[in-house]
Amino acid sequence: MSEYIAPLRDMQFALKELAGLEQVAQLPGCEEATPDLVDAVLEEAAKFAEGVLSPLNWSGDQEGARWHDKAVTMPAGFKEAYKLFADSGWTALAAESEWGGQGLPKVVSAAVNEMWKSANHSFSLCPLLTAGAIEALVLTGSDALKATYLEKMVSGLWTGTMNLTEPSAGSDLAAVRTRAEPQADGSYKIFGQKIFITYGEHDMADNIIHLVLARTPTAPEGVKGISLFVVPKFLVNDDGSLGARNDAYCVSIEHKLGIHASPTAIMAFGDHSGAIGYLVGEENRGLEYMFIMMNAARFGVGLEGVAACERAYQRARDYARDRIQCTDIGVRGGPKVAIIQHPDVRRMLMTMKSYAEATRALAYVVAAAHDAAVHHADAETRKRNQAFVDLMIPVVKGWSTESGVTIASIGVQVHGGMGYVEETGAAQHLRDAQISTIYEGTTGIQANDLIGRKMAREGGATLKSVIAMMRALDSDLAKQGGAHFAAIRSRLAAGVDALATAGEWVVATYGKDVRAASAGAVPFLKLLGIVAGGWQMARAALIAQAKVDAGDGDPFFPAKVVTARFYADHVLSGAAGLASSVTDGAEGVMALHEDMF
Amino acid sequence: MKILVPVKRVVDYNVKVRVKSDASDVDLANVKMSMNPFDEIAVEEAVRLREAGVATEVVVVSAGVANCQETLRTAMAIGADRGILIQTDGELQPLAVAKLLKAVCDKEQPQIVICGKQAIDDDANQTGQMLAGLLNRPQATFASKIVVAGTQATVTREIDGGLETIEVPLPAVLTADLRLNEPRYATLPNIMKAKKKPLETTNPAALGVDVTPRLKTLKVAEPAKRTAGIKVADAADLVMKLKTEAKVI
């Protein structure tokens, strides 16, 4: 079975040429991230992903996490791999140096995280959730909470979780019912049940720090009455040592379609005496705090889409090279050939390759904008970058992960019947990829966030500025000769036109008929995704062509131009259809009475 | 005690190498390069000896193009303390490298030199032995275990017949075999620290070494493609074919 090989060449290209790593390294606080250091970090991360995490992907899926007596046993090898992961300092990559982190910029952690996710999606969720909990505490925790928890979480000694969902409060967090009763000593006792808690229980770390949404007795109804609490699995003594077992137990784990090695816990808080919790920030502001981190978490999940495209592509490519079947098309009686020679298999592989590269380029560009939004010295530049990030986060999350599922499905198809058999490993990628379109907000939630909060609320201003950047590429594309660039230019222009038309319609319609706008939300998100991906592929093609023209003999560059051209003809060409679904499709969505379903 | 470890930048072991169209050499353009795996084992062993308190400093040295700096940084991320780059763009053959290393040894005076037993690109397996000869020091090659006590190293060597254990007085040149250790994954803090460790650049002329190649490569060719096998009817048929067709018995 083929192991994952980190696509360092394309990652470095996307980081340096598209995301502007050198500019990021000039931002205040990002000076460490020089290109040579980033290369060294990526190479070592690649070794770890390829040598430690990838070999556990299949066995972890087959064995799965197992629950017994309120404890979870991880699949063989995970505990050791996690210890090595933490000992190697990877948990500390992005965290601030004050807490023992390396403080590397988002654009670097994006590339590194993509590797963890491609190599072993299930494993990668533990550090992802911990990073989310760290960020929540850094942003909103008291000094005492920070001092008690952060260093050990950054070092990976303890892991973190996010406890939001309840059986009746999924996408609708206003319905959270978990109670928090204030105690005389300033702590709270937490009572309630939480579900879908990723790594809510496991045996890889000494302590698990749950961040839990709950209501205090005096809290108002709805979203404005939810507070955030730290609830450790083991209470922490004043000297930092572990104390009593807290009343927070995993009562079961879910049986799922994929990510079998990632334990999805059902957590019972306070079934015995009450789980001791500590308020994070102020009462009733929990959801607000969660939303601060939501962008980061959604971006992280978006990378899973990139990672799924890449992993599925590599496996399908390796299989297509080895699998001999049929003679070359149009050749009678000739030798049997590897299926990679067949045009339809080529089409599938090019689709996979181009999606992997386009989703990666967009994600890294958004990560670099995030770094500028946080670190840039100029307030106006920070604001402009933040607006871009806010607009694109639901796209990176929604479009990349939907693409991950599509591409993993094509990966199965390349394998034919063997792909439907578990042993080839292609099916696991499809099963694992599906969850990324669901957690941290389904694609529908992303799309409605996009058209509402990110577009209608500001009259589509940021979208317009992005469209202007896309159009600005046209003059450079026009200067290039040849069929590749002609196709890239005309498809991009048509895609941007479709995006502009649909975007204007969404903004104009949202206020007067929000149901009609919402009916086209997901098609619009996909439209923005494929056009933004096409924009980055066109940029990539121009840069690659300039390298070729300058005499660089690296075959990576002409391949990039061809891949961008394929993407234009096979992916961007779908923009107009999606735009019509947005502008003309609402009536068909809503016309039928419920009884007719 | 100071340990010197020479490290070579070679084609990554995952790369399927191609021969240049003019058959003059292996095509290195746009090919992923990394540290020779045997050298990585040598660096790991040296760092372990320092961590065990046997050595006090590990110096890594590489000869070749400017990009060899990356290889030295990788070695420093594993734990080497400082690096020396002998920068040159020309072809370097084992004897030239051994002379360069001798010049560095004369200056650095290491008690132990640990080389990889050979490089995976040319598989020459000569540099360590030549260096020991030039230095007029004992050598212990193909080491799968190294124990240093006082002024002596006890080295278990992998030889055709099994394992051989020898003692060599220090200073000495050792070469690392595959089973000597399993190199660690470099930690992120060490990768970042490696960037700040001292790296000195010199060149063959400054070391007074003539690196002109002594051997001429006539032709580089890919190994013959394996052809399909055949089924033999029985043992007698096999013996007959080995005698008459393969002519190996």
Q: What tens digit of pLDDT does each residue of B100-140 get?
A: 999 999 999 999 999 999 999 999 999 999 999 999 999 99
Residue B156: which of B146, B170, B171 has the closest Cα?
Answer: B146
Whether the CB of A8 is below 8 Å from some CB of chain B: the reply is yes
Query: Measured between alpha carbons, how far is A430 from A446 in angstroms, rounded to an integer?
Result: 21
Q: Say whether pLDDT at B154 is over 70.
A: yes
Other C-beta atoms within 10 Å of B14: how many?
9
Q: Residue A530 pLDDT more than 70?
A: yes
Backbone angles phi, psi at B109, to 5 degrees: 50, 55
What value does the mean pLDDT take over residues B18-42?
92
A89 → closest Cβ in B73, B187, B194: B187
Q: Is the peptide bond before A217 cis (omega within 30 degrees of 0)?
A: no
Q: Which of B70, B188, B194 sits opposite A90 (nearest CB)?
A: B188
Using CA atoms, how far residue B62 sits from A330, A527, B85, B202, in Å, is 54, 52, 5, 10
Phi, psi of A404 (to 5 degrees): -60, -45
Which residues are CB-neighbours of A578 under 8 A, at least 6 positions away?
A: A498, A502, A523, A524, A526, A527, A530
Confidence of residue A172 (pLDDT cuts 50, 70, 90): confident
Answer for the pair B110, B137: CB distance below 8 angstroms, yes or no: no
Burial class (CB in 10 A: 0-12, 13-18, 19+), A149: buried
Closest CA in chain B for residue A52: B185
Return the residue of B nearest to A101 by Cα: B189
Q: What angle do CA A139, A145, A148 make, to 5 degrees?
A: 125
Instruction: Inspect the interface and report whether the beta carbons of A43 and B188 lie closer than 8 Å.
Output: no
Interhelix angle B94-108/B127-135, rounded to 10 degrees, is 50
Residue A571: phi, psi to the nearest 5? -115, -55
Residues of B in contact with A84 (CB under 8 A): 185
Q: Tell me: pLDDT of A293 over 80.
A: no
Q: How confident is the model at residue B230 (pLDDT cuts 50, 70, 90)?
A: confident
Contact (CB<8Å) B195/A8: no
Q: What percent of chain B is modeled with pLDDT above 90?
A: 86
* Mean pLDDT computed over A216-225: 93
Phi-psi sector, A330: left (phi>0), alpha (psi -120 to 50), beta: left
pLDDT digit string, tens, across residues A571-589: 999 999 999 999 999 999 9
Tell me, letter by letter, the H, E, C secondary structure of A88-156: CCHHHCCCCHHHCCCCCCHHHHHHHHHHHHHHCHHHHHHHHHHHHHHHHHHHHCCHHHHHHHHHHHHCC
A536 neighbors A471 (Cβ within 8 angstroms): no
Residues of A in contact with B30 (CB under 8 A): 553-556
Beta-bridge partner residues of B168: B153
**Span B220-249, average pLDDT:** 88
Rounded to the nearest 5 degrees, what angle is found at the Cα of B27, between the Cα atoms of B24 and B33? 135
DSSP secondary structure string, chain B?
-EEEEE--EEE-TTS---B-TTSSSB--TT--EEE-HHHHHHHHHHHHHHHTTS-SEEEEEEEESTTHHHHHHHHHHHT--EEEEEE--S---HHHHHHHHHHHHHHH--SEEEEES--TTT----HHHHHHHHHT--EEEEEEEEEEETTEEEEEEEETTEEEEEEEESSEEEEE-GGG--PPPPPHHHHHHHTTS-EEEE-HHHHT-----SS------PPPPPPP----SSHHHHHHHHHHTS---
Q: What is the pLDDT of residue B16?
A: 86
User: What pLDDT score does A368 carry?
Assistant: 98
Give residue A296's pLDDT.
Answer: 84
CA distance A488 to A491: 5
Lookup result for tokens 């978490």: A297
Range of the domain at B168: 2-245
From the number of C-beta atoms within 10 Å of its C-beta (0-12, 13-18, 19+), residue A374 rates as: middle
Residues of A in contact with B32 (CB under 8 A): 8-9
Mean pLDDT, residues B174-198 taken together: 96
| Residues of A noted as catalytic | 440
Chain A residues whose CB is inside 8 A of the B31 CB are none
For an interface test with B, the pick among A80, A88, A115 (most B C-beta atoms closer than 10 Å) comes out as: A88
* pLDDT for B95 beyond 90: yes
Identify the pLDDT of residue B167: 97
The residue behind tokens 């919402």 is A518
Residues in chain B: 249
B190 vs A contacts (CB less than 8 Å): 89
C-alpha closest to that of A119 among A348, A425, A560:
A425
In chain A, what is the straight-line distance between the N-terminal and C-terminal CA atoms, in Å? 44
Query: What pLDDT was estimated at residue A3?
Result: 87
Residue from A532, A528, A508, A534 nearest A586 by CA: A508
CB contact under 8 A, A36 and B73: yes
Averaged over B189-204, what is the pLDDT? 96
Number of Cβ within 10 Å of residue B122's Cβ equals 14
Torsion A584-A590-A592-A597 (CA) sign: positive
Q: How far apart, in whole angstroms, are the C-alpha atoms of residue A150 and residue A124?
A: 19
pLDDT value at A334 more than 90: no
Question: Taking 70 as the threshold, does the pLDDT of residue A243 lie above it?
Answer: yes
Say if residues A33 and A105 touch (Cβ distance below 8 Å).
yes
- In whole angstroms, what separates CA B226 from the centre of its chain? 29
Q: What per-residue confidence (pLDDT) applies to B129? A: 98
Query: What's A285's DSSP letter?
Result: -
Overall average pLDDT of the A332-346 stretch: 94
Amino acid letter for position A299 = F
Residue A265 has pLDDT above 70, yes or no: yes
pLDDT on residue A128: 94
Q: A346, A330 in Cβ contact below 8 A?
A: no
A-chain residue closest to B67, CA distance: A36
* Residue B100, domain CATH: 3.40.50.620
Search chain B and give the residue with CA nearest A81: B185
The answer to whether residues A310 and A7 touch, using CB atoms and an 8 Å cutoff, is yes
Q: Which of A127, A151, A132, A126 is nearest to A236 (CA)?
A: A151
> Is the CB of residue A335 less than 8 Å away from at least one CB of chain B?
no
- The answer to whether the CB atoms of B191 and A556 lie below 8 A apart is no
In the prediction, which pLDDT does A1 show? Answer: 58
Question: Which whole number is the average pLDDT over B8-28?
Answer: 91
Residue length of chain A: 597
Alpha carbons A487 and A197: distance in angstroms, whole number: 47
Name the minimum distance, in Å, from the CA of B30 to any CA of chain A: 6
Residue B117 to residue B126: CA distance in whole angstroms: 8
Residue type, A556: F
Task: Please give the pLDDT value at position A417.
Answer: 96
Question: How many structural domains is chain B composed of?
Answer: 1
Q: Would you list the domain boundaries of chain A?
A: 446-588
Provide the pLDDT confidence category of residue A332 given band limits of 50, 70 and 90. Answer: confident
* Angle formed at CA B188 by CA B185 and CA B193, multiple of 5 degrees: 110
- Whether A11 contacts A111, CB under 8 Å: yes
Query: Which of A5, A36, A87 minimises the CB distance to B14?
Result: A5
Q: Under 8 Å CB-to-CB from B22, ≥6 apart: which residues?
A: none
A122-141 pLDDT, tens digit each: 999 999 999 999 999 999 99
Sequential DSSP letters for A527-588: HHHHHHHHHHHHHHHHHHHHHHHTT---THHHHHHHHHHHHHHHTGGGHHHHHHHHHH-HHH
